[in-house]
Structure 1
């Protein structure tokens, strides 16, 4: 029997194991800047009216609209958390991160050879426009207008064991859209995972909360990273950007914080009654611990309601775990193939064949490892 007084390096942390000698440290030694948070995400859609109807049903508030753009916000103060521009097709454009200071914008511009420009739209401020190794446009902004807070969706009062504050009153959560509070995180897929990972760590100062590796291929490095912002001793979301190696390069999903489990469940009932399709949920994740619920918008882009996520300061070490479909949740319904993106299709087959012909980080062994992970 093991001695309970003896603790391993990671026994009291979020992950069962940490890095082995010589593995990726999960952070840059001297990043150019350290961004404070995600500011917003940008999309294009051909039908802004349909986009607005779903946005309201999902729980966004409208911060502004023009003939060619829709600005969505949550209840927390700050900038809009999503901008939808009129375009020919429904697609994700890229993220915008918030710099801590104007001097950080200048430093980033000098280091990357970019320019600091006026943002030139509602909210003002300045921006540095970059392109990451996956060819995603990445904006870093500062000095944008801060919108005031909106009324919150109040959490329900719960009776727990002998602590029973709710007396002579019933629980009746309203069947209405859950109110989005803020943008939480973005997940993307890329064929150049290692290069993109180092780019975000080196230039934006993100640090890795958790790495996932493919079974039998840990020696080849991680295949997924959950990255958070580095705000020192201030605890922040377990991940602001998550990225995984895959045969396609593109948007996977984005996540928006809501009040609590009841808000997620009642808001989900509201969405289902209006004919929207749940992708997966309700459950609780492993990496990040969030209670989650995933939905598809009318153009099949995936968005997530979440609540009760982990918060880490800068001194929490990077965890390492095997990538497995069954390891995505602590509890909840079985993960769906639709959510995993592994439903067989001609488009998926074309992506696999194309990536094998290109110069990237995927080879037959990595692809087989990914397929095994998604079926384990």
Structure 2
């Protein structure tokens, strides 16, 4: 157990330009299910225990990220987090309260970090019984990557406010750990504070590959992959959704504990011409890199 307060990643919320188009893509092609409908919002679940993984809100002409939701280990953890957020320079947007309008329920708080990223932390939200693995369909979210123009500051905030620790750091990213998954939040070293991507855990290697074929058949080609990362050791295929949000199918995420030794950029180096362990796929192209700089947190979520 790394973080004394955070158990893991629960969901992400986005503003999208066309809710009907988003539903068609994320249910028919990405293979999520509708969990709940609200006024101007759609909640989509995977095959795992989380009540939902994505909350898609009707928005303006460009996609925006509304918030990232984490799950707390206890009700008491919410109070500790509230105090630490303020001490670390964040802004508490809503103290711990009953989430009556959220279909997953529970108690939660919301805050903004010093650079405008909005997080929600919940406890006691509804979870479904664990069922059988369903091939080719996302199980849960495994991580989000958020760009930062001030990576050291963002890393320090996540460590103080949420109890994360640094798992590894490469020349382009800082990987932050809270539980067994190698990383739950990663910080992309950049000149902006955009959403880099959202990663959906697939059951296995075959599901990552077949998912890539399904996306290609539907007109959404693989933007980067297939490959296997260094930090986290996970398999990957990256895509763009209809609005330009970068999403990832992944599997085989490395499971670690407190004995895991963090490494720096000098450790994570590839031979010339490689950008992952396998070296099969070319480096990410301009379309993917551009998309990883365009989706920002909504100023008034």
SS in 1 for 2:213: helix
Partner of residue 336 from structure 1, selected from 284, 287, 291: 284
SS in 2 for 1:97: strand
1:300-339 per-residue CA deviation (whole Å, 9 max, x = no partner) reads 1110001112111022121112476856311131112336
Partner of residue 118 from structure 1, selected from 95, 98, 102: 98
Residue pairs, 1:162-311, within 5 angstroms: 178-213=136-171, 224-230=173-179, 236-311=180-255
Which position in structure 1 is the counterpart of 2:36? 64
- Is the contact between residue 208 and residue 237 of structure 2 (CA under 8 Å) also seen in structure 1? yes
Counterparts of 2:83 and 2:114 in 1: how far apart (Å)? 18
Counterparts of 1:59 and 1:251 in 2: how far apart (Å)? 22
- Is the contact between residue 40 and residue 79 of structure 1 (CA under 8 Å) also seen in structure 2? no
Deviation of 1:271 after TM superposition, in Å, equals: 1.2
Partner of residue 142 from structure 1, selected from 123, 126, 129: 123
Deviation of 1:112 after TM superposition, in Å, equals: 3.7
After TM superposition, what 4+ stretches of structure 1 lie above 4 angstroms from structure 2? 322-327
1:98 paired with 2:78, answer no
Kindly report the root-mean-square deviation, in angstroms, between the aligned alpha carbons of the 2 structures: 2.2
SS in 1 for 2:206: helix
Deviation of 1:150 after TM superposition, in Å, equals: 4.8
Counterparts of 1:150 and 1:46 in 2: how far apart (Å)? 33
Counterparts of 1:47 and 1:66 in 2: how far apart (Å)? 15
Counterparts of 1:124 and 1:291 in 2: how far apart (Å)? 33
Asked which structure has the greater CA Rg, the reply is 1
Counterparts of 1:251 and 1:342 in 2: how far apart (Å)? 11
1:164-211 per-residue CA deviation (whole Å, 9 max, x = no partner) reads xxxxxxxxxxxxxx2101100001111121111101011111111101
SS in 2 for 1:138: strand
C-alpha change, 1:64 and 1:148, in structure 2 (3 Å) is farther
SS in 1 for 2:6: coil
SS in 1 for 2:48: coil
Residue pairs, 1:1-150, within 5 angstroms: 33-56=4-27, 57-88=29-60, 89-112=62-85, 114=92, 115-120=95-100, 121-150=102-131
In structure 2, the gaps of 5 or more residues are 87-91, 295-301
SS in 2 for 1:311: coil
Counterparts of 1:303 and 1:112 in 2: how far apart (Å)? 28
1:97-126 per-residue CA deviation (whole Å, 9 max, x = no partner) reads 111000111222234454212223211111
Counterparts of 2:232 and 2:165 in 1: how far apart (Å)? 14
In structure 1, the gaps of 5 or more residues are 1-26, 155-177, 214-222, 231-235, 349-376
Q: Structure 1 length as normaliser, TM-score?
A: 0.69
Counterparts of 2:23 and 2:288 in 1: how far apart (Å)? 27
Matched length: 278
Deviation of 1:281 after TM superposition, in Å, equals: 0.8
Counterparts of 1:63 and 1:277 in 2: how far apart (Å)? 27
Counterparts of 2:148 and 2:140 in 1: how far apart (Å)? 25
Counterparts of 2:152 and 2:114 in 1: how far apart (Å)? 10
Which position in structure 2 is the counterpart of 1:22? none
SS in 2 for 1:59: coil
